[in-house]
Structure 1
Amino acid sequence: MKFAILSRNTKLYSTRRLVEAAREHGHSVRTLDPLRCYMHISSDGFAMRYKSRPISGYHVVIPRIGASVTRYGSAVLRQFELMGTLSPNPSDAILRARDKLRSHQMLAAHGIGMPVTVFGDNPDDTADLLAMLGPPPHVIKLNEGTQGAGVMLTEKVSASRGVIEALRGLYAQFLVQEFIPEAKGADLRCFVVGSKVVAAMKRQAPMGDFRSNLHRGGSAKGVKATLAEQEVAIRAARVLGLGVAGVDLIRSRRGPLVLEVNASPGLEGIEDASGVDVAGEIITYAAKRHKLRAAKRLAAKG
């Protein structure tokens, strides 16, 4: 089977592991920089080139699209899809997951628990917006921030107003959420592949911080997610249409709450903490999906 990995950096751990896993499973694989892919679009069909050469014949494409290139990267991925290549994470699903406001609305509409969230645009509504949320502490998140960047904790209403005013002055989109004190700076990353959680790790924020992201200095250890946590993680990925996802949960008095669903979760932290060959799980799942789709198409023709 012919695999493509969409990644801007072949040296990244996640990219290298996916390439290794694909080869270990007997597939051919190539890493493509999405920004070097360019497209021909017409009513007669779709084509794509890479560094002056045609791109064709790929059975599966696995996107590792960074947040900074979401728009162009998702367009390249969509072109692959229109050319008949399967992706475990479709382009529209990546766009849904990258937009925190949209993904929160979708998850809430399906009854999936999450911290209470408010969102507004007009400065005249800030006081009432915060009153809807409740007393501080408040967590303020940039709508498209990643790896803990753009996440702030405010202890007083005046501080919340100040941060909100500053972000509006920068024309930034953001959400404001309740703070869950009983989590004590920890969250749970459940790595979903298909219809199961293949690995999980508990991440703990460093002293003096509340963000548990490993890129922010947090620590991690492999854990076994409860059945309730696994169910929530799988449902959250399914609602957004993702076959592969890192679902971040927080343990609260009212059960597991979804903080975020990551459409391009890193592999290094979860593989180190859990000891699970997550890259291999992704390759196996994607190959099975392709074979199933090919069998259905053959049956439909028959």
Structure 2
Amino acid sequence: MNIAVLSRSKGIYSTRRLLEAGQARGHNMQQVDHLKCYVSIEKSNPEIHYEGKKLHHIDAVIPRIGASVTFYGCAIVRQFEMMGIVSCTESQAIVRSRDKLRSMQILSRAGVDMPKTGFARVPKDKSDVIHMVGGTPVVIKLLEGTQGLGVVLAETKKAAESVLDAFYGLKTNILIQEFIKESKGSDVRVFVVDGKVVGAMKRTGREGDFRSNLHRGGTAEAIKLTKQERQTAILAAKSLGLGVAGVDILQSNRGPLVMEVNSSPGLQGIERSTGIDIATKIIQYLEKLSDMKTQNKDRIRV
């Protein structure tokens, strides 16, 4: 197959590994910067152009869309889908996962457990919102934040109200979330591909930081999941329609709680901490999707 990895740079670890894994399985691989793509929308003739030329002979794509360019990146993925090109992650699933509020509403409807979460727009209601999620300490998150940015732990009611006032003053959307003390600054990243758990690591924040993100200086180690943790991660990915997902789970006294589901999870931490070749598993999943597409075409012909 001719496979394009939609990524800003070949130098990114995840992009490089996907290119290597695809080449090792005999595919023609190329990195395509989705921000340099532009589209032609015409009846029955969707096209994508890249660096001054029509982009063709692509059989499948692997989206690696950064959160800051979700709208444009998903538009490009959607154009590939309109052209009948297989994507290992559907554009609509990326959109769902990037909207933290919407994704949590979907997960809640599917029966996935999570920390108690509040969402409000009116500043005068902040005291009730804090009470609604169980009182302080609380975690306050920007809806658009990534990699631990825009996440604040407020230890007291006064501190929480001050942070909320500041965020409301910026007219930005935020979530107020229950703080899971027993997780002790750690979470579990579960990597799900094609409805199966293919790897998991426990991430621990640096001393004094309740955030466990590796980008913030956290550490990671391989972990063996419980049956309930595996089932929770699989259900979370399925609920959002993600064939490839990184599901972030907090280990609590009442069981696994899903904190977030990522549609473009990084490979570096999970591969290095577990020794598992996740990139090849993604390529194999893409091969399966391509085979299914071919089989469906054959059925239509018959």
TM-score, length-scaled by structure 1: 0.98
Distance in 2, Cα, partners of 1:59 & 1:227: 36
CA deviation string 1:195-234 (max 9, x = no partner): 1110100011111010011001111001121221111101
Q: Following TM superposition, by how much is the alpha carbon of 1:301 offset from its aligned partner in structure 2, in angstroms?
A: 1.8
With 16-25 and 52-61 compared, the bigger mean Cα shift is at 52-61
4+ residue stretches of structure 1 with deviation over 2 A?
none
CA deviation string 1:50-93 (max 9, x = no partner): 01111123121000110111110000000000001111111110
Q: Following TM superposition, by how much is the alpha carbon of 1:6 offset from its aligned partner in structure 2, in angstroms?
A: 0.4
Does the residue aligned with 1:97 lie in a helix, a strand or coil?
A: helix
Residue type at the aligned position of 1:116: K
Distance in 2, Cα, partners of 1:92 & 1:179: 30
What is the 5 A alignment of 1:148-187?
148-187=148-187
Distance in 1, Cα, partners of 2:223 & 2:194: 20
Residues 1:247 and 2:247 aligned together: yes
Corresponding residue for 2:123? 123
Does the residue aligned with 1:199 lie in a helix, a strand or coil?
A: strand
Distance in 2, Cα, partners of 1:266 & 1:160: 31
What is the 5 A alignment of 1:272-291?
272-291=272-291
Distance in 2, Cα, partners of 1:91 & 1:292: 19
Does the residue aligned with 1:203 lie in a helix, a strand or coil?
A: strand
Corresponding residue for 2:82? 82
Distance in 2, Cα, partners of 1:127 & 1:136: 10
* Structure 2 unaligned regions, length at least 5: none
Q: Following TM superposition, by how much is the alpha carbon of 1:123 offset from its aligned partner in structure 2, in angstroms?
A: 1.1
Residue type at the aligned position of 2:19: V
Residue type at the aligned position of 2:232: V
Does the residue aligned with 2:153 lie in a helix, a strand or coil?
A: strand
Corresponding residue for 1:222? 222
Residues 1:35 and 2:64 aligned together: no
Distance in 2, Cα, partners of 1:144 & 1:60: 29
With 108-117 and 48-57 compared, the bigger mean Cα shift is at 48-57
Corresponding residue for 1:101? 101
Distance in 1, Cα, partners of 2:227 & 2:131: 35
Identity %: 51
Corresponding residue for 1:195? 195
Distance in 1, Cα, partners of 2:10 & 2:162: 41
Corresponding residue for 1:261? 261
Number of corresponding residues: 302
